Structure 1
Amino acid sequence: MPFGHHRFVRRIRTAVAAVVPAAALAVAGPVLGTTPADAAVTCRVTYTSTQWGTGSGGFTAAVDVKNSGDPLPDWTLTFTFPSSQRVSQGWSARWSQSGARVTARSESWNRPVASGGSVQIGFNGTWTGSNPPPTDFAVNGVPCQVAGASPSPSPSPSPSPSPSASPSASPDVPVDNPFAGVTGYVDPGWAADVESSAVRVDDAAAEKMRGLKTTSTAVWLNRIADVTGGSGVARTLKDHLDTAVEQGAGYITLVLHNLPDRDCRSRVSDAELHEQDNGLHRYKTEYVDAIAALLAEPEYRNLRVAAVIEPRALLDLVVGGALDTFPCEQAAASGVYVMGIRYALDTLAPLPNVYTYLDAGSAGWAGWESNFTALAALVTETARATSGGLAGLDGIATNVGDYVPLVEPFLTDPHQTVMGQQLLLSRFIDWNPHLHERDYAVAMRAALIAKGFPSSLGVVVDTSRNGWGGSARPTAVSTSGDLNTYVDESRVDRRPSRAAECNQKGAGLGARPVAAPVPDVDAYLWIKRPGESDGAGGPLLPEGSDRLADYRCDPDGSLTPWSGGFRPTGALPNAPLIGDWHHEQFVMLVDNAYPAL
């Protein structure tokens, strides 16, 4: 199969079994100014959801509406909840609910819908008792075919849902969106870590934690032994893949994170490989080739693999160069990052069940115009020189391991003025016009498409730690006339600086993993595993450690800001080494989850 095959079939949506559209039915009367003569409605709906809680809780649902009839000048989607579910917040439509009946009316920007076109809408909700999917979807009063309805398995203390609890993996690969219509792999190791915290808290908190144990998280391949086995490795890549097949998971997210001299902006990089020690050759032959060989095994052919390629690597070249960071300047001069990434894309892209997502930074670091432009150019330059070219990349990943909230509900326009001063001039926003991650992700995608990437380019956003809920979350816009006070009282992101990135105080779990939450976004995912430390933070390192503390993780330290002023790190104290379980952080993330657990 040639390179770029994924891009040619995206938006075809072969993730669900083909269905024959229902015959068009007459609309009972006028709907939002239209008549039955205006459009013959024929539609298909794909509904997916991810839930949390035991006995009751919340869920996030994505609804894909396919118009297979005449063009629709306007649309209204209706359905009925079969249980006690309630819509609490929705997007990409005007949502309302009366009793069990739910109505979603089009926005001005997602109508009309062409023949063969689709709209993607979604909502957060609550449930009690059970959370079965709706089945009576209708557009403008006309019933739709329902394809791929697949609520996530009910939470239970078991770290692995039974295969019968999730839909079977689709043999139709490649597909448009690898996350649509199927459930993700649940890592038993992460579930065990969650349980280790649950036994240390009160019953109410423990119930919330255990309700998360069936949530899909990514598998990080940080060293060669994570792939092939070795000292200290509890589960190899093969172990994860085998368990995913046993679970009946439809997809697994893998993070390739082992470039030579990786994390060049860190003063205490724990890179396994080094360019001067033949690191690039080892990266290719012992790491990437070994991953590709496993993923090509026939027993995994129906398992969709989302491969997130080298988080922050290209961003580090851009930011590290701007800050005159010598290791990053070395990495840029040698080309080791770019060559390694190109090899990974060249090797993985031809596999029909693999979907490649190249890391493209976050609003917190790459939102500034100069960084944004430079990173978009570097992503394009890196992908263009691969065998598949720009069409060979399935998508980009943003906010990986970062804390930028999906939206800032009370800060929507960076050019808004307070007493004559634009929000851009405030201490926190600091001239960065991308106020939240969803805006940044969609803007970066558009910039890349403008540079020649196909319009089918997808996006995944890491929402594992960007919830910023809890009692400190603002509920209304500030009324202050002071610019900095106005921004600080209005923002949900409570970091001391947009550059703060290590074990952040006040953070919470973000949106639960869900496919197609908003247009142009393939999924929200938990890529960084919630509860894992970003790095050791003072005042003391763990006993017996010979490692240095990362200044970004020092709770008493400060960051170098883009503009003048003292910026504390915002890091939690007494954090363990990077990758180790951080119980106190996990408790905080659960307490501050948004949507709340």
Structure 2
Amino acid sequence: MQVPKKRRRLAITGVAVAALAATGLTFASANQALAEEGCKVDYKVVSSWGSGFQANVTITAQEPINGWELKWNFPSGTTVSSAWNVSYTQSGTSFTGKDVGWNGSIASGQSKEVFGFIGSGSSATPAQFTINGDVCNGTTQPPTSEPPTSDDPTGNPGGGDKVDNPYTGAQVYVNPIWSANAAAEPGGDAIADEPTAVWLDRTSAIYGNGSPTTGSMGLEDHLDEALAQGADVIQVVIYNLPGRDCAALASNGELAADEIDEYKNDYIDPIVDIMGQAKYADLKIVNVIEIDSLPNLVTNVAPRATATANCNTMKANGNYQDGISYATAELGSLPNTYNYLDAGHHGWIGWTNNDPQYDNFHSSADMFGTLIGMNGMTADDVQGFITNTANYSVLEEPYWNVDQVVGGKAINQNPDVKWVDWNAYNGEIDFATAFRQELVSNGFNSNIGMLIDTSRNGWGGDYRPTGASTSTNPVTFVDESRIDQRYNKGNWCNQAGAGLGERPQASPEPGIDAYVWIKPPGESDGASEEIPNDEGKGFDEMCDPDYGGNIRNNNNPSGARDDMPLSGHWSSEQFQELLENAYPPVN
């Protein structure tokens, strides 16, 4: 059984069909192919009141657009009173809007919400739109016959559209190998039935490679077991890029920096073949795609002082973007898959400085946007993004804010407060919510959702504060008030004192699809000393408890636990500490 490598994708925005119908906009149904030429405009009325309304406008380009002029005719009596992100004029019923520079470029296949406005009068959708003189939302053509995407001869196993949030009301797969490891620990029975992800961190993991934490179960074995459990959702980590994790050594992968063909042909394609089998048609497969990758090409490349040679190489050869867009497009073409791209965490890309040398937030979102159109990837192939994967950043700091004034100055404007270091965020909820909006501004669909990995960010135990510090010294105030007890937010390896975070749950906050345990608690981030192995995993000093740090963690101690095995291998001691320091506590 072969899954076709290239498939037609509908160039429609992520707004639900029902919502589009409500606006009166003509659109192709799910079994029609949109006209290949031209452009698409989504004119979405997001709220209305009395005689006024607010509308947002999204453009989908089927060919690259470099600067746009959008025109339409309003119903008689409708006028624009204010608008944003657009230069506009109105004469009678005729409206003309032009880009304002930064939002003028739209890649082929990309959908970008370009501007919004407040209008008075009728909110009915205009009958016709033109961009640069070309009529948009043209006629549709009949569906073309294409090879089936699985053993199902209809080519549409599972049938129907993907749901907005795959976690809603879902029973999520419990990995029996992790569950057995957890249950074997004192007190582990209390959480052994929590769902965790299946990590495909080597090509051999697809087929079952007998490692201590995966045993002989390959991808198909896990999918079959998910069916046996009656699960609705299974979570899979796609994690094998060429030159993987270029700023660290503990999780370096098996593929060299230039082995992009091997990644596509030997790793991604077999995964697509397996996931596309008809027997999995009713199983929603959540793919967490390539953690610790693209943000590195913003933060750890020249001319920044934090640059590494490996990250410079990966930025130059483009294989991170090539690999991720290929994986997202191929997996996204299956009707039962839901792709979430890794987006770092607030302590990595939470800086919003206008200077590109220091801005990680906008630059990262912009880099994600450049994936659209590569290897046939569209915005519709992306269900959302995930933050804090396999990391320790807290959901929120309940006792202080980064812009709080202590000692006469806002905390995030005080160079003495190294813990904050000018970062605009101090928790994953605020960061993920804001970053979601920034991603939408860079071409992703407006209904994307975020995941947050809460497997190890509880930070409970005896050291957890119960209120804000009374100190007027800003450094002391932050240190005594903060939940996160790391030396630095850049510390990522086996952090001593960490605890289990919120249990997995759907829709915990607006825009957040779920809290998830993608990193299985108890599995190591990396060896605390060099251990020879055939898994492609090097020794990283950030996993050595005696290491004094580097420029990427502001030269702070690593904060790592001692006596830890290779990444992905089980540590009873770490599991026990996570259980003891869980917050909310484990009953």
TM-score normalised by length of structure 1: 0.68
State the one-letter code of the partner of 2:207: T
1:275-333 Cα distance to aligned partner (Å, 9 max, x none): 34xx2111111111111111110110000011111001101222221312000000110
Q: Which residue is 1:290 aligned to?
A: 270
Query: Structure 2 matches for 1:171-186, cutoff 5 A?
Result: 173-186=161-174
| Contact 1:223–1:257 (Cα < 8 Å) also in 2 | yes
State the shift of 1:385 in Å: 3.0
| Contact 1:3–1:349 (Cα < 8 Å) also in 2 | no
- Higher alpha-carbon Rg: 2
Question: What is the RMSD of the two structures over their aligned residues, measured on CA atoms?
Answer: 2.4
> In the aligned structure 2, how far is the partner of 1:10 from the partner of 1:526?
32
State the one-letter code of the partner of 2:281: R
Q: Which residue is 2:194 aligned to?
A: 215
State the shift of 1:389 in Å: 2.5
Q: Report SS of the residue matched to 1:559.
A: coil
Query: Structure 2 matches for 1:355-366, cutoff 5 A?
Result: 355-366=338-349
Cα distance change, pair 444–236 in 1 and its aligned pair in 2 (3 A): same
Instruction: Check if 1:537 corresponds to 2:525.
Output: no
Cα distance change, pair 4–585 in 1 and its aligned pair in 2 (3 A): farther
Query: Structure 2 matches for 1:266-345, cutoff 5 A?
Result: 266-276=248-258, 279-321=259-301, 322=304, 323-345=306-328
Cα distance change, pair 242–9 in 1 and its aligned pair in 2 (3 A): farther
For residue 207 of structure 2, the aligned residue among 228, 246, 254 is 228
Unaligned runs of 5+ in 1: 13-168, 199-205
Q: Which residue is 1:194 aligned to?
A: 182
| Contact 2:489–2:553 (Cα < 8 Å) also in 1 | no
Q: Report SS of the residue matched to 2:403.
A: coil
Cα distance change, pair 531–11 in 1 and its aligned pair in 2 (3 A): farther
State the shift of 1:470 in Å: 1.3
Q: Report SS of the residue matched to 1:568.
A: coil
Instruction: Check if 1:382 corresponds to 2:371.
Output: yes
Query: Structure 2 matches for 1:243-254, cutoff 5 A?
Result: 243-254=225-236
> In the aligned structure 2, how far is the partner of 1:263 from the partner of 1:491?
29
Cα distance change, pair 302–173 in 1 and its aligned pair in 2 (3 A): farther
1:11-67 Cα distance to aligned partner (Å, 9 max, x none): 99xxxxxxxxxxxxxxxxxxxxxxxxxxxxxxxxxxxxxxxxxxxxxxxxxxxxxxx
Q: Report SS of the residue matched to 1:411.
A: coil
> In the aligned structure 2, how far is the partner of 1:353 from the partner of 1:210?
31
| Contact 2:242–2:319 (Cα < 8 Å) also in 1 | yes
Instruction: Check if 1:558 corresponds to 2:548.
Output: yes
Identify the range of structure 1 (377-386 vs 515-524) with the bigger mean alpha-carbon deviation: 377-386
For residue 368 of structure 1, the aligned residue among 343, 351, 354 is 351
Q: Which residue is 2:452 aligned to?
A: 461
Q: Report SS of the residue matched to 1:517.
A: strand
State the one-letter code of the partner of 1:335: G
Q: Report SS of the residue matched to 1:358.
A: strand
Q: Which residue is 2:103 aligned to?
A: none
Instruction: Check if 1:396 corresponds to 2:379.
Output: no
> In the aligned structure 2, how far is the partner of 1:292 from the partner of 1:545?
23
> In the aligned structure 2, how far is the partner of 1:549 from the partner of 1:280?
24
State the shift of 1:172 in Å: 6.0
| Contact 2:548–2:558 (Cα < 8 Å) also in 1 | yes
> In the aligned structure 2, how far is the partner of 1:177 from the partner of 1:545?
35
> In the aligned structure 1, how far is the partner of 2:297 from the partner of 2:10?
27
Q: Which residue is 1:2 aligned to?
A: 9
For residue 468 of structure 2, the aligned residue among 477, 483, 490 is 477
Instruction: Check if 1:265 corresponds to 2:272.
Output: no
> In the aligned structure 2, how far is the partner of 1:3 from the partner of 1:392?
11
Q: Which residue is 1:237 aligned to?
A: 219
> In the aligned structure 2, how far is the partner of 1:535 from the partner of 1:269?
7
Q: Which residue is 2:516 aligned to?
A: 525
State the shift of 1:453 in Å: 1.9
State the one-letter code of the partner of 2:562: P
| Contact 2:239–2:289 (Cα < 8 Å) also in 1 | yes
Q: Report SS of the residue matched to 2:490.
A: coil
Q: Which residue is 1:506 aligned to?
A: 497
| Contact 2:522–2:574 (Cα < 8 Å) also in 1 | yes
| Contact 2:245–2:292 (Cα < 8 Å) also in 1 | yes
State the shift of 1:427 in Å: 1.8
State the one-letter code of the partner of 1:189: I
> In the aligned structure 2, how far is the partner of 1:395 from the partner of 1:274?
28
| Contact 2:391–2:456 (Cα < 8 Å) also in 1 | yes
| Contact 2:254–2:535 (Cα < 8 Å) also in 1 | no
> In the aligned structure 1, how far is the partner of 2:536 from the partner of 2:337?
38
Instruction: Check if 1:347 corresponds to 2:330.
Output: yes
Q: Which residue is 2:507 aligned to?
A: 516
State the shift of 1:421 in Å: 2.5
| Contact 1:402–1:466 (Cα < 8 Å) also in 2 | yes
State the shift of 1:10 in Å: 9.1
| Contact 2:250–2:526 (Cα < 8 Å) also in 1 | no
Instruction: Check if 1:595 corresponds to 2:584.
Output: yes
Cα distance change, pair 543–185 in 1 and its aligned pair in 2 (3 A): closer
Query: Structure 2 matches for 1:138-177, cutoff 5 A?
Result: 173-177=161-165
Cα distance change, pair 429–213 in 1 and its aligned pair in 2 (3 A): same
| Contact 2:388–2:453 (Cα < 8 Å) also in 1 | yes
Q: Which residue is 2:109 aligned to?
A: none
TM-score normalised by length of structure 2: 0.69
State the one-letter code of the partner of 1:460: L
Query: Structure 2 matches for 1:427-438, cutoff 5 A?
Result: 427-438=418-429
Q: Which residue is 2:36 aligned to?
A: none
State the shift of 1:388 in Å: 4.2
State the shift of 1:562 in Å: 6.0
State the one-letter code of the partner of 1:347: E
Identify the range of structure 1 (503-512 vs 3-12) with the bigger mean alpha-carbon deviation: 3-12
State the shift of 1:259 in Å: 0.4
Q: Percent identity?
A: 40
1:111-162 Cα distance to aligned partner (Å, 9 max, x none): xxxxxxxxxxxxxxxxxxxxxxxxxxxxxxxxxxxxxxxxxxxxxxxxxxxx
| Contact 1:467–1:593 (Cα < 8 Å) also in 2 | yes
> In the aligned structure 2, how far is the partner of 1:223 from the partner of 1:543?
14
Unaligned runs of 5+ in 2: 1-7, 20-156, 353-358
> In the aligned structure 2, how far is the partner of 1:310 from the partner of 1:545?
17
State the one-letter code of the partner of 1:258: N
Q: Report SS of the residue matched to 1:7.
A: coil
State the one-letter code of the partner of 2:556: R
| Contact 2:260–2:319 (Cα < 8 Å) also in 1 | yes
State the one-letter code of the partner of 1:470: G
1:497-521 Cα distance to aligned partner (Å, 9 max, x none): 0111110011111111111111111
State the one-letter code of the partner of 2:335: P
Q: Report SS of the residue matched to 1:455.
A: coil
State the one-letter code of the partner of 1:286: D
> In the aligned structure 2, how far is the partner of 1:304 from the partner of 1:10?
21
> In the aligned structure 1, how far is the partner of 2:314 from the partner of 2:536?
25
> In the aligned structure 1, how far is the partner of 2:504 from the partner of 2:14?
23
State the one-letter code of the partner of 1:550: D
1:236-294 Cα distance to aligned partner (Å, 9 max, x none): 00000000000000100111000011011114553111134xx2111111111111111
Q: Report SS of the residue matched to 1:516.
A: strand
Cα distance change, pair 5–512 in 1 and its aligned pair in 2 (3 A): farther
| Contact 2:389–2:518 (Cα < 8 Å) also in 1 | yes
State the one-letter code of the partner of 1:325: T
> In the aligned structure 2, how far is the partner of 1:9 from the partner of 1:522?
17
Q: Report SS of the residue matched to 1:506.
A: coil
State the one-letter code of the partner of 1:2: R
1:541-593 Cα distance to aligned partner (Å, 9 max, x none): 589999753111110112224696x4111101111111110111111111111
> In the aligned structure 2, how far is the partner of 1:180 from the partner of 1:5?
24
State the shift of 1:411 in Å: 1.7
